[in-house]
Amino acid sequence: MARAKSSKKIGLAIIGAGRVGLFRGDTAMRHPAVEWIGIAEKNHNRGHFVAEKIGADFITQDYKELLKRPEVNAVIIATDEHLHVAPILDALAYGMPLLIEKPLATTLADSAKVMAAIEQAGVDAIVGYTQRFRRNWMGAKEKVASGALGDVTLVTSRAFMNRLVAIDNYKRTNDPKSISPMVISGTHALDIAMWYLEAKTPVELYARSIDKVLGPLYGGIDATAGMIMFSDGCILHTNISWALPVTWPGAVYSLEVGIVGTEGVLTIDDTHRDMVLAVSAPQEEGYNPDKRRLVDFMGSYPPGDWLDGELIGPMAEETNSWLNRVATGQKTHAATVKEAHNRLMLTKAFDLSAKLRKPVDLPIDAELEERLLRGV
């Protein structure tokens, strides 16, 4: 039996009070090690709404002011994806542990810069690949790691999403070419697969995309499918579409994964079709509620679900796991900064290969990405 570890008290800074800031703050306020919470949010009204919800002790519109507070000894970066870099780099000066929402950055150059800065600072940082904390994926990871399947030779994944997430992302950006289904959402399924294949080395990638729905409306991409080839001959086949009709019942994700090895096979159905809600009037909850949606696969919202005003599910488990790590040094299976950079590199490689309509060698870097896009 493991000996109980001593626990330090946590003064938590949450930078960004959108959906994720609220979800993680709601979990943090219930954790026994958390004694103080501060929020930094540019939107004054939103900041005060979340602060009241979680009983925050301090609120500001300037994250630098929050980082200077003497109570703070741990930081969550939960801003919009394209605003991660500055608060991460500023937080590193204080040497505090970080929980960073994926991705580290939206460009390979910025991601590499952030990764190098974190490594140089020696800060304990993890990245929020929340799906690792769904029990389905944890159970499969254990079977792969234990060798139950033998040497894994093939992983295949399929991700279906209605178009609400895509529409939300394209409406919030001034540069639709900077986001894609792979970079924003497919990265979660990709992370799960690469987590299982962490002992293998990817060497080549080929992909194709289609844009018949979101392209004319927003200049975006509907779906991407492709393969990653590994140095030992293993193949990862993956696809994602986030252009399904709004009435598709998955609140967000509907995933299926198959893992084939020399000694076995494991299939995971994470489509959430085991609990189907059908109603006569639209529900004013979930991701970007829409009056056309009258059927839902319950449990398909990645952070989890609310029960008696408390978040229950993978984001709560991930947050608690990180808070335990900060308070006691407990080992966790959260994504590392190096893994997060790798996932961004791979998703960018999917988009690059699809654009060039030819295979690309792995890894790619920012210079190669830019040169290939220019056709040089």
Condensed to tens digits (0 to 9), the pLDDT of residues 17-39 reads 999 999 999 999 999 999 999 99
CB 158 within 8 A of CB 200: no
Span of 135-144, 206-215, 350-359, 360-369 with lowest mean pLDDT:
360-369
Residue with tokens 């090895």: 261
Rounded CA gap, 231 and 235, in Å?
10
Residue from 23, 17, 119 nearest 66 by CA: 17
Give pLDDT tens digits for 35-75.
Answer: 999 999 999 999 999 999 999 999 999 999 999 999 999 99
H or E segment at 48? helix 44-54
Backbone φ/ψ region at 136: left (φ over 0), alpha (ψ -120 to 50), beta: alpha
H or E segment at 343? helix 337-356
Pairing relationship of beta strands 265-270 and 254-261 according to DSSP bridges: antiparallel
Q: pTM for this structure?
A: 0.93
- The CATH 3.40.50.720 portion of the chain extends over 10-131+326-335
pLDDT at 307: 87
What does pLDDT average to over the chain? 93
DSSP structural state of residue 101: E
Rounded CA gap, 58 and 229, in Å?
49
Q: Which CATH class is domain 10-131+326-335?
A: alpha beta
C-alpha atoms less than 13 angstroms from C-alpha of 311 in its C-beta half-sphere = 28
CB 373 within 8 A of CB 177: no
- The CATH 3.30.360.10 portion of the chain extends over 135-302
Give pLDDT tens digits for 151-181.
Answer: 999 999 999 999 999 998 898 887 888 789 9
Percent of the chain residues topping a pLDDT of 90: 83
Pairing relationship of beta strands 202-210 and 254-261 according to DSSP bridges: unpaired
**Cα dihedral 336, 342, 347, 348 in deg (nearest 10):** 130
Cα 66 to the center of its chain, rounded Å: 25
3-state secondary structure of 52: helix
Q: Which CATH class is domain 135-302?
A: alpha beta
3-state secondary structure of 203: strand
Residue from 158, 274, 166 nearest 220 by CA: 166
**Number of helical (H) and strand (E) elements in the chain, helices listed first:** 13, 18
pLDDT at 5: 60
H or E segment at 229? strand 223-230
Give residues with Cβ within 8 angstroms of 169, minimum separation 6.
179, 184
- Name the amino acid, one letter, at 350: F
Rounded CA gap, 52 and 35, in Å?
16
Q: What's the Cα-to-Cα distance from 328 to each of 98, 99, 162, rounded to whole Å?
A: 15, 16, 40
Six token digits for residue 300:
């398909």
Give pLDDT tens digits for 136-155.
Answer: 999 999 999 999 999 999 99
pLDDT at 285: 62
How deeply is 70 buried, as exposed, middle or buried, from its count of CB atoms within 10 A (0-12, 13-18, 19+)?
exposed
Please check the confidence at residue 77 and state whether its pLDDT lies above 50: yes
pLDDT at 177: 80
**Predicted confidence band at 286 (pLDDT cuts at 50, 70, 90)?**
low
3-state secondary structure of 177: helix
Give pLDDT tens digits for 288-346.
Answer: 668 888 999 988 988 998 888 899 999 999 999 999 999 999 989 999 999 999 999 99
How deeply is 245 buried, as exposed, middle or buried, from its count of CB atoms within 10 A (0-12, 13-18, 19+)?
exposed
Rounded CA gap, 239 and 375, in Å?
26
